[in-house]
Each structure stands twice: as C-alpha cells, then as structure tokens.
Amino acid sequence: MTIRKNWVLTAICAAILAGCGGSDHSTPTTTTAATDPDTVADQRAAALVAQMTLDEKIQMVHGIGAQLAPLGGDGTIPGIPRLGIPDFYTTDSSTGVLQILNGVVQPNGSTAMPSPLALAASWDPTLAHDYGAQIAKELRVRGFSEGLGAGVDLARELRNGRTWEYLGEDPVLAGYMIAARTQGTQEQKVIATIKHYAANDQETNRYISNSIIDERTLRELSLLPFEIGVKVGQPGNIMCAYNLVNGVKSCQNSYLLTDVLKNEWGFKGKVQSDWYMAITDTEQAANAGTDEEEGGSTNDSVGYLGLVPTFFNQKLEAAVTAGTVPMTRLNDMVQRRLRTMIRVGVMDSPATLGGTIDQAAGDTATYNAAIQTMVLLKNATPASSSTPVLPLNASTIHSIVVIGGHADAGVMAGGGSALTPPRDGINAVKCLVDPSTMIAVGIPACATYYNSAPLDAIRAKAPNATVTYLDGTDANAAAAAAAAADVAIVFGTQFETEGADLSSLSLPNSTTDPANQAYDQNALIAAVAASAKRSIVVLENGTAVTMPWIDNVHAVLEAWYPGMQGGPAIADVLFGTVNPSGKLPITFPMADTDQPQKAISPTDTNVVYSEGLQMGYRWYDAQNIQPLFPFGYGLSYTTFGYSGLSTSMDVSGNLTATLTVTNTGKVDGAEVVELYAALPPAAGEPPRRLIGWQKVQLAAGSSKQITISASAERLAIWDVTLGQWRIPAGAFTFYAASSSRDSGALTSTRTLSSKVVPISD
C-alpha cells in the first residue's frame, strides 16, 4: 500500500461521509442455543445479511475513499444504523497509527514502534503479541476498527524497499511471529490484517510485476507464513497484493484466494484488496474471492478522485443484477465482513472516535521492544585491551566521539505507508533536498527521524566523559577525532521505503541517496576504523548491508529502525544496561551479487523465482556461499553452551527436542536456541530448514532444560502430485544451533517413514 497518494492527491471532500451519522449498535436477537463464538458469529452475521437490501450489501464491500473526515484513515465503510452496524474505519498500522486527512499527516500522539523486521530479530512471540496489542490499543483509542499491519512476504530480494516492513526470510519464523502479533491485536477488539498475499517481494513495477514461481516453492516458502498466520493467529483480514502470481493478479486469483486460503486453510475472515489498481476486473475479483475493495469510491464511473478506476460499487451491483457475480457470492462477501466484526468484538463494542493516546505507556512499550530487537554482530578485543570493546564501561572512559548518522538529532525510520509520523509532526532532521521531492509516486524521498538522539543518551550514560559530535561530512576530521578519543562510535544509516527498491545493499552516499546522505558512509567508517583506539559502528537500516570495513572495526551493533525511543535503547545496549539478545531474521551477504537475483530489472515485469526452494539462508547453504553474517546469528555479552540433545516423536509425527542450555559467562542474558532439520537427500530440499526455536533467559552460571516442539508439518514437503503435505521417508538430522551456520550445533538423527500429513497448525 502506498500512503494513498497522500502527497500528490489533494483535498478529498469530507462530505462523502454524510449520512454515516450515529447508530444504534444493537443486533437482532438470535434464537440459537449455540455458545461456540465462531458459530454465534456466523449465525448473527447470516441473520443480518438476510435483512439487507441489495444496496446495503454493496455498501458493505467497498470503501468510499481514503483520507476522509473525521479520522483521516485509509478507508471508510459507512455503517447501517437500522441494523446496528457501526461505521468502519481502517488505517495503516505496521509500526503505529498513521492518519492522513485530505493529504495532510495528522500528528496524533501515536507511538512509533521498532520496525517489523526488528521485531522478527527478537525471535520472541511474546514480544510480537505485545507489539500487536500496543498498536491495537492506540488504533482503538483513535477510533479505528481495523489495522493494516503487518506483512509476511519473505525477504527473497533483500533490496526490496519493504524488507523493513516484513518479518524476514524464513516462513516459520515469520509465520509464528505474525500469528502472535495478530492475536495481540485482536484481543484489543481491533481486526488484524496479514498482507500482501502473495509473493509480493519487490517494489519495482509493483502494480504489474508477475511473480513466476513453481507450486512447490509457492507452498513451502511464499505461502507458508500466511498459512501459519491464518491457522494459528486467525486474522479477520487478509490483504491481497498488487502483483500477479503466475500470470493472474493476486486479487483476482481464485487459486490463491478460494482454493488455498478459504477452502484448504479454512479462512473465515474477509479478503481485502490492496489500495487502488489491485483490482482491474469486477467479476473476476469477486468470483475469485476478494471480499472488499479498498480504498473504493462512491461512484465507480468516476473512480477515486476521477483518477483511479474502482470496481465494487455500481459495477459490482450491475454484475450481481446480471447474474455474472452470483447473489450467493455477494452474500458471502458481506457475511465474512460481519462475522469478523462480531467475532473480534467490533460490532458490539465499536471504538469511540478521537481519544487521547497514553504516550507514557507507548514510550515504555517501544523502548522495551527496541532493546530486545538489536543484534550484536561483532565484538572484538582491541590490541590494547584484554576485554571486548562492548559493553562500554563509563567509569573508565574519559572521551567519546560520536560521528555521523544525525546521531545528534534522532533515529531514522523507514518510509511509506508503514511509517508512523513523529508525535509533534516535526522531522528531527532537515532533508537535504526539497521535502516535496518524491522517490516514487506519493512516496517522499526524505527519511523521517524521531527526536530521540543517541548522542544525548550516550552523554547521559557517561556523565564524567567528554562526549563530542561530528556530522561525518569531513572524514579526515572524524579520523583525527577518533584517534584522540578513547572510543569512536560511528552511526550508519540506510533509508528504505515503499515504492522504490534499493540499488545496492551498500550504505548509501550522496550520489545513491542525495535526499538523506551528505557523504560516503563507507569511506567515513574506514577512515575512523584506521585511526580509532576502539571503533564501534551502530547501524540504523531496513535490510542487510554490505560491510567492506568489517575486518577493521571492533564492534557492530545492528539497531534497525529502532522506533521512538531508539536513542536511549541504543545507549543502554552499548553500555551494558541491556544485554543484546537479538538474532538476524535475514542473511547478510558479502555482496549484492551473492543473492539469487543478481539485479532487479527495471523493465522485465516477469520476476522468475529461478532459485526455487533455495531462498534466504537455504540459497547460501545449497550454493556453498559464505555469508557476511548468517541467518539466526547474534552475539551476547555472555556465552552459552548446549548439551544433552534428545529427540522424540509422537504417533502423529510431531517432534519434541529436549536439551540443556547453560549461561557459561558472567552476565545474565537471553539465548535463542534454534532447531533445524536436514531432510533426506531424496526429498530434494536445501541443506537445512528452521523448524522451531525457543528464547530462554538465564542468570550467569545457571542452566535450564528446554523443550522445542515442531509439528509434523514442519518436517513435510509439498507433494505436487498428491496436492498435499508429505513427510518423506529416510534419515532426518536435527540441529540445535545458535545460527543456521553454527558449526558447533548439537545433532540428533531419526529415520522416518513416508507419511501424508493432514494440516493441523
């Protein structure tokens, strides 16, 4: 989703909402004795559908535009007061509540959480649950019934401008994390969305690109996080994508929407189109399984602002009247919307508009998330020392120089519809070009920075040290300052946004990102590393970065886009108040060309998944390519040991792995124990796949026996001939590891018989 053309399309008439007034939120009394919540929701929804006129049914399945009063959200569906159906408001919420009224961003006090990719780096479903709950609380306070976060398209192409919005490269990690976030959201009586369904893995040619992907790869990788998210999280809303999949638009693809999502997975919620141009054919979209068009319009003959065609208002009514879209299909579309509103609690307890967000609670939530998502990538011991450079000891440091990345002003955020605006509406950093400059249609080229300066937080942690700041534009001056200081901390930034892909994973310079960069960041880091006694690089970025200077710096902390309390969170990790526990949810390659897709073609709209099952770390393993940092990797200020791995299976093929984890260091910390499986060679799979994990908190010197469970589905392959999941026969090797490339992993081997697996996630 774009930010709905909000910087290009001007005022939208708020009067479109006339007639949406107050409503009686009572619903007809049902005579059923059913008590099961799903059955009750189905029956109540059916009773409402039976009372509706054709016009009322049509009203329920399309928005009437975006950025409209009173809320300035992304979509509005007026309610039906006589049936107790409330007005319905939806808006972007990947990292917080985005409100844009008539093209103007509304500072609403919303909390900006760390990026979803950062959330994935926590490997913590409990945190994902709380992350979803926090954003949902704020959505509901502002009056929204539905949030449009978050995405689970896999990081197949790391240069994708939306990598920062998604949950990494592994379908199991992404699937269970989105399921937890979904549950946290819907517990707050806000409908959760999982998007963009499916294989929406780059922004180049975003409206017309065609993902060409074989069935096995589609099922085992691209669709799997959605499958887990649907079955475990039970979201009320699935958003279909702009792109085509194997020649058919995602929102008009009956295989994706009806055969797989609704019939096979049993999804009972609604399918919502992405905003504008996701649908091009009324009958095909409706009959394929799309239940709601957004942003929609009041008049299909005019479209959105007279510019973008729309299809689910008068055009859909004509199709239903003509019988080309059956009335039963329209009834199902409405049924799905209403039963979702009932099941999640929106129908009986609609949000009150325009409440005030608890900013103190938001600050606590975003800080707690940030400190759990940062990944320590390197922590070497300087030649002049006997201990690693991190954590910093404020009592022994006399001078620190902080360099670059606007660390004196704030922390960077990603761009596009997932951006949460600063609370005061003021960008902490002045853009280097005209702020109206667009990187793509409706997408500003200027990065947003939150007013949470790492420099201030570092000074607070080291009150007795002299802490100076250089902006990084003069590499020679920075190198000289680094040579004179006890510690040099360089901040590297990489702006990613919806609407445009990166040209490279290299840290950008003034040529590759003139809106946000005034100097060559790699050259700056190299110069500082060559002279500093102790050099630390802190990265604020939305995807992997290449690091030509990695051998010459002492430490690297991956902070991602850390959210509104990023400054204090970074400082607390650097000084050891917090022991980092994040692990990479994506592989960091040595070079751009180490990826399966060597470059993103600006002209070829066919995106061929030629690597097949070798996506993400599977590619590097299968091709024997050494990554810069492997999937699942992350250091700590302590050390951990594993012992005593044993595995067992029940009669259904579900695996249980048990082992003991020991904190062998002197600092309390958390470890993510990752469980991988190597399938029998005849299965034709890449070398290893993640099947489960557990994050465990341990005091220094303590041990704990943990259990990691993996359902039979995690051991299965998609059998194209059978059209089912099947466990292949042969020897399976299981690895309890600290990363996908952990050479010291514990192993256990079991021989399994071939078995067709009924999906039961």
SS3 call for 89 = strand
SS3 call for 668 = coil
38 close to 45: Cβ distance less than 8 angstroms: no
Answer left, alpha or beta for residue 711, where phi above 0 means left and psi between -120 and 50 means alpha: beta
Cβ of 705: how many Cβ atoms within 10 Å?
11
Q: Where are the beta strands (DSSP E) in 137-274?
A: 146-147, 193-197, 210-212, 237-240, 244-245, 248-249, 270-273
Cis omega (within 30 of 0) for bond into 196: yes
Q: Which helix (H) or strand (E) holds 181?
A: helix 171-186
Residue-wise DSSP of 557-616? EE--S--TTHHHHHHHHHTTSS------SS-B-SSGGGSSS-S--SS--EEE-TTTT--T
Quick one: three-class SS letters along 489-524?
A: EEEEECCCECCECCCCCCCCCCCCCCCCCCCCHHHH
Half-sphere exposure of 15 (CA within 13 A, CB side): 1
Q: Which residue has the tokens 């208002």?
A: 313
Cβ of 341: how many Cβ atoms within 10 Å?
28
Cβ of 685: how many Cβ atoms within 10 Å?
20
Question: What are the tokens at 210?
Answer: 């065609």
Catalytic residue among 92, 130, 201, 274: 274
Residue 691: closest CA among 673, 707, 675: 675
CA distance 761 to 315: 39
Cα of 138 vs its chain's centroid, Å: 18
Active site annotation includes 274: yes
**CA-based angle 592:596:599, to the nearest 5?**
50
The amino acid occupying position 606 is N
Q: End-to-end CA distance of the chain, in Å? A: 29
Q: Which residue has the tokens 């990538």?
A: 377
List Cβ neighbours of 436 (8 Å cut-off, separation of 6 or more): 7, 444
Cis omega (within 30 of 0) for bond into 596: no
CA distance 422 to 530: 37
Q: What DSSP character marks residue 407?
A: T
750 close to 734: Cβ distance less than 8 angstroms: yes
CA distance 576 to 391: 5
Q: Which residues pair with 757 in a beta bridge?
A: 725
Q: What DSSP character marks residue 665?
A: S
CA distance 92 to 138: 12
Cβ of 584: how many Cβ atoms within 10 Å?
26
Strands 487-493 and 399-403, bridge-based pairing: parallel
Cβ of 231: how many Cβ atoms within 10 Å?
17
Strands 237-240 and 193-197, bridge-based pairing: parallel
C-alpha pair distances (Å), 394 with each of 397, 435, 565: 5, 39, 21
Residues annotated as catalytic are: 274
